[in-house]
Amino acid sequence: MTISFASGKGGAGKTFLSAHSLDFFLKKGTKVALADLDVEEPNSKIFFDIEDLSKKEAFAYVPEFIKENCTECNRCLGLCKFNAFTKLPGSAIIFKQMCHDCGLCYYACKNGAIVRTKMRIGEVKSYNYNGAKIFEGLLDIGMEQGVVLIKQVKKEALAEELELLIQDSAPGTSCSFVETISESDITFMSIEDSPMGIHDGEIAIKVLEEMKKDFYIIINKDIESNYSQGFRKKFNEKIIATIPEKKEIASRYAEKKLSPEDADIKKAMNEIFSIVEKKRGEKK
Amino acid sequence: MIVLTAFENNLESKLDPRFGRASGFILVDQETNNHSWLENSQNINSAHGAGIQAASNVVQNGGKVLITGAIGPKAFMVLNEAKVEIFTGDTSKSVAENIEDFKANRLTKVSSATTVGLG
Which chain B residue's Cα is nearest to A89?
Answer: B82
pLDDT tens-digit map of A141-169? 988 899 999 999 999 999 999 999 999 99
Give the per-residue pLDDT at A46: 96
Give yes or no for residue B6 having a pLDDT over 60: yes
Query: Nearest Cβ partner of B53 from A83, A87, A88?
Result: A83
Give the per-residue pLDDT at A142: 85
Please check whether residue B44 lies inside any domain of the structure. yes
As for the ipTM of the complex, it is: 0.84
Please check whether residue B51 lies inside any domain of the structure. yes
Length of chain B: 119
Domains of chain A from N-terminus onward: 2-48+130-283 (3.40.50.300), 59-120 (3.30.70.20)
Please check whether residue B116 lies inside any domain of the structure. no
Establish how many alpha carbons lie within 13 A of residue A256's alpha carbon, considering only the half-sphere containing its beta carbon. Answer: 8
- Asked whether the beta carbons of B15 and B6 are under 8 A apart, the reply is yes
What average pLDDT score do residues A16-32 get?
98
- Asked whether the beta carbons of A193 and A228 are under 8 A apart, the reply is yes
pLDDT tens-digit map of A187-238? 999 999 999 999 999 999 999 999 999 999 999 999 999 999 999 999 999 9
Strand ranges (DSSP E) for A68-193? 85-88, 91-94, 114-129, 132-139, 164-168, 186-192
Could you tell me which of A175, A244, A173 has the C-alpha nearest to residue A203?
Answer: A173
- Between chains, do B78 and A78 touch, taking CB under 8 Å as contact? no
Percent of chain A topping pLDDT 90: 95
Give yes or no for residue B118 having a pLDDT over 70: no
- Between chains, do A98 and B48 touch, taking CB under 8 Å as contact? yes
pLDDT tens-digit map of B22-80? 999 999 998 898 999 999 988 887 777 899 999 999 999 999 999 999 999 999 999 99
- Between chains, do A95 and B52 touch, taking CB under 8 Å as contact? yes
- Between chains, do B81 and A88 touch, taking CB under 8 Å as contact? yes
- Span between the terminal Cα atoms of chain A, in Å: 11
Q: What is the CATH number of the domain that holds B24?
A: 3.30.420.130
Q: Which residues contact A7 (CB under 8 A, 6 or more apart)?
A: A13, A14, A169, A171, A189, A190, A191, A192, A197, A200, A201, A204
Please check whether residue B118 lies inside any domain of the structure. no
- Asked whether the beta carbons of B114 and B43 are under 8 A apart, the reply is no
- Asked whether the beta carbons of A141 and A171 are under 8 A apart, the reply is no
pLDDT confidence band for A130 (50 / 70 / 90): very high
Residue A40's SS3 state is coil
What one-letter code names the amino acid at A218? I
Which phi and psi (to 5°) does residue A27 adopt?
Answer: -65, -25
The residue among B52, B78, B83, B118 with the most chain A CBs within 10 A of its CB, best to mutate, is B52
Burial of A29 (0-12, 13-18, 19+ CB in 10 A): exposed
Which chain B residue's Cα is nearest to A74?
Answer: B60
Please check whether residue B115 lies inside any domain of the structure. no
- Give CA–CA dist A94/A107, Å, rounded: 16
Please check whether residue B66 lies inside any domain of the structure. yes
- Residue A19 CA, distance from chain mean position: 14
DSSP assignment of B35-64: EEEEE-HHHHT-SS-HHHHHHHHHHHTT-S
Number of domains in chain B: 1
- Asked whether the beta carbons of B81 and B59 are under 8 A apart, the reply is no
Please check whether residue B117 lies inside any domain of the structure. no
Contacts of B60 in chain A (CB under 8 A): 77-78
The residue among A86, A96, A143 with the most chain B CBs within 10 A of its CB, best to mutate, is A86
Query: Nearest Cβ partner of A93 from B48, B60, B78?
Result: B78
Please check whether residue B114 lies inside any domain of the structure. no
pTM: 0.82
Burial of B85 (0-12, 13-18, 19+ CB in 10 A): middle
Distance from CA of B92 to the nearest CA of A (A): 31
- Between chains, do A91 and B81 touch, taking CB under 8 Å as contact? yes
Give the per-residue pLDDT at B117: 62
DSSP bridge pairs for A35: A135, A167
Query: Nearest Cβ partner of A95 from B59, B60, B74?
Result: B74
| Residues of chain A contacting B, Cβ within 8 Å | 77-78, 82-84, 86-89, 91, 93, 95, 98
Which structural domain, as residue segments, surrounds residue B10?
A: 2-109
- DSSP label at A69? G
- Between chains, do A86 and B48 touch, taking CB under 8 Å as contact? no
Residue B56 contacts A where some CB pair is shorter than 8 Å: yes
Query: Nearest Cβ partner of A88 from B48, B53, B82?
Result: B82
pLDDT tens-digit map of A50-103? 999 999 999 999 999 999 999 999 999 989 988 999 999 999 999 998 898 999
Distance from CA of B53 to the nearest CA of A (A): 7
- DSSP label at A9? S
CB pairs under 8 A between A and B: 35
Region of A7 please: left (phi>0), alpha (psi -120 to 50) or beta.
alpha
